[in-house]
Amino acid sequence: MDKILATIVLSFRSLKLHKLRSSLTVLGIIFGVASVITMLAVGEGASAAAQESIRKLGSNNIILDSVKKEDTQENQGNLLSYGITYEDIERIQTNVESIESVARLRLYEGEVRYRENSATAEVIACDPSYFHIQQITLHKGRSLCLVDSRNRNDVCVLDSSLAELLFPYQDPFAHKVNFDGSYYQVVGITQTPEEAKSIKDYKVYIPFSSAVANYGEVTTTVSQGSFQREQVDVHQLIINLSSAEHVYAAYGRLERIMNHGHKIDDYTIKVPIRLLEEAAETERLFSILLGSIAGISLLVGGIGIMNIMLATVSERTKEIGLRRAIGAKKKDIVLQFMTEAIVLSLIGGCIGVLLGITMPYLVTQLFEIETKISTLSVTVAFLISGLTGVIFGSYPAIKSANLKPIDALKDI
């Protein structure tokens, strides 16, 4: 143990004699370790954000969306009809097993107003099961219920950001909001996620049956100066299954049902659990790519260590010859130069870890990119820095040990 400590002290003294050279050599390791940690943190952060957004859709869910295609044909009276129909929903509920609940959605966008206060918001007409399926958290009041749907009650649930905007000084539950000529009594307020607050993504929830009663089956849009009438029974259908194990079987049956009922693909089917698996695989490949790119910096740093150690061996030939002449063994010489290479690598690794932990924070603050530092990436980067010293320091160490004392001392 004393011999090892003495070797380490001697290594520090030797490196201290050439401060500038040692510092420049360490820079390669510092930037290599820091870049590995930073790039993996960026990759992990991007993956985590993507997976979280997919996870919010629900791993037990299958989502169907109505899509207007260019080849969608107009019916009589210039009525453009497309997308998911009530007949589709009935067939799905009858023929697909393991369905826990179903939520129908109609999506509107427009101005929601209370007196002089107003905001553009997404109005989601939905079944009460939507709150459970999407795990929407209530801040105050209640969510939509079956009684609201059955009686077509004109009630609504606001997100907290919109409630604060429309009712800065009033109690929201004592008032009604206006949307497209209809008034809805406020019965609940949801907890708005922080990311939605920053982009002012306002949402209002109303009963699906109330939307159909108030706005009808047919909507009219204006396109290039002409009116176009469209009929869409359901803009989106969310099917919640009893467990994730039934998702793929249900997906296959859904495809057959929808293909049988539609001449054109005026719908899309999304399977969040599949998207989650694909995102995880993409993240793995992305991390390997980023880690490989950053690893090149460590390779460059390792080559720098080898160069500096070879130069050191050339400069200290007489010292090596003298030590061998007075009884030092080859393994002692190898240990000496290997220790110096490892010390350089570990110093660079420690500084690189500190820089690597700081850089992701700066990236997040400056570019608003989510980053996530993992303990594994920090540990691996540090261990690789030490391994770099071992690998690239071994050749100069072995070369120095193989010097013959008589050749090393011939110029003395």
- Across 322-345, average pLDDT: 80
More confident residue, 69 or 406: 69
Q: Lowest-pLDDT range, 83-97, 182-196, 275-289?
A: 275-289
What pLDDT was estimated at residue 23?
82
% of the chain beyond a pLDDT of 70: 85
What pLDDT was estimated at residue 213?
93
- The length of the chain in residues reads 412
What type of residue sits at position 330? K
**Domains of the chain by residue range:** 2-53+278-408, 68-265
Q: How far apart are CA 360 and CA 227, in angstroms?
A: 52
- Across 227-234, average pLDDT: 79
Give the pLDDT confidence of 174-209 residue by residue, as tens digits. 999 999 999 999 999 998 766 555 556 899 999 999
Q: How far apart are CA 299 and CA 29, in angstroms?
A: 9
What pLDDT was estimated at residue 196?
53
Question: Which DSSP state fits 234?
Answer: B
Q: Is the distance from CB of 159 to CB of 192 less than 8 angstroms?
A: yes
Residue 111: pLDDT over 90: yes
According to DSSP, the β-strands at 218-223 and 226-231 are antiparallel
- When pLDDT is cut at 50, 70 and 90, the band that residue 342 belongs to is confident
Helices (H), 17-145: 19-57, 86-95, 129-133
What pLDDT was estimated at residue 393?
81
Q: Lowest-pLDDT range, 298-302, 379-383, 389-393?
A: 298-302
- Rounded to 5°, angle at Cα 352 from 346 and 353: 90
Q: What share of the chain is helix, strand, coil (3-state, %, to 5)?
A: 60, 20, 20
> Which of 70-79, 138-147, 292-301, 397-406: highest mean pLDDT?
138-147
Q: How far apart are CA 10 and CA 15, in angstroms?
A: 9
More confident residue, 214 or 77: 214
**CA 277 from centroid of its chain's CA atoms:** 13
- When pLDDT is cut at 50, 70 and 90, the band that residue 307 belongs to is confident
Residue 64: pLDDT over 90: yes
